[in-house]
Amino acid sequence: MWTGDSPCGLIRQVATRHSGEDMEAELNLMVDQGCTVEDVIVEHPIYEPDVQPGCVKGYFEINDPNFGNLWTNIPLDAFKGAGFEYGDMVNVTIYHDGVEAFKDRVLFHQSFGFAKKGDPMIYNNELMKVAMAVSQGSMCQKYDLWFGPEWTVVFTK
């Protein structure tokens, strides 16, 4: 990632790779979400999490299609800085377009081995961001959840 000002007005550039089959579908989805595409340049807002002591709000940026996990925009260090520790049972509320879609107390831990099969859990993914999953299952399928800026998540103590 490169950030900074340039003569052409570019504020932030994020480089990613896409297969030919996925490019059109992904660009159409971005346009549907309010982005502007110019010569395969995608501009969209960067959503920052709201981090307060004992309360962190973010959104699901993407799902892991192989496992049905949901990855947030919340860095692990910010989550832990708000007072969450491995082993905590965390209150989780997920909203879709402002309507409650999921609410439960969920285990936050560093390994799926700490959660019972079929239980939801909070973990940190390989990007060191907070993510949610179902142990040996799909969070997306089990709870009918998805990702995008309309899918917000609130974690409280």
Burial class for 149, CB neighbours closer than 10 Å (0-12, 13-18, 19+)? middle
Query: pTM surpassing 0.85?
Result: no
Can you tell me whether residue 113 is helix, strand or coil?
A: helix
Q: How far apart are CA 119 and CA 136, in angstroms?
A: 8
Superfamily of domain 50-156: Bacterial fluorinating enzyme like (2.40.30.90)
Residue 29: the pLDDT is 81
State the residue for tokens 């973010």.
Answer: 58
> Do the strands 12-13 and 36-37 form a parallel or antiparallel pair, or are they unpaired?
unpaired
Give me the residue spans of the domains in the chain.
2-43, 50-156
Tokens of 51: 């981090």
Amino acid at position 134, single letter? V
Q: What is the pLDDT along the chain (157 residues), one digit of tens a residue?
A: 333 444 444 444 445 556 666 777 877 887 888 877 666 655 667 889 999 999 999 999 999 988 999 999 999 999 999 999 999 999 999 999 999 999 999 999 999 999 999 999 999 999 999 999 999 999 999 999 999 999 999 999 9
Rg (CA), the chain: 17
Residue 12: the pLDDT is 44
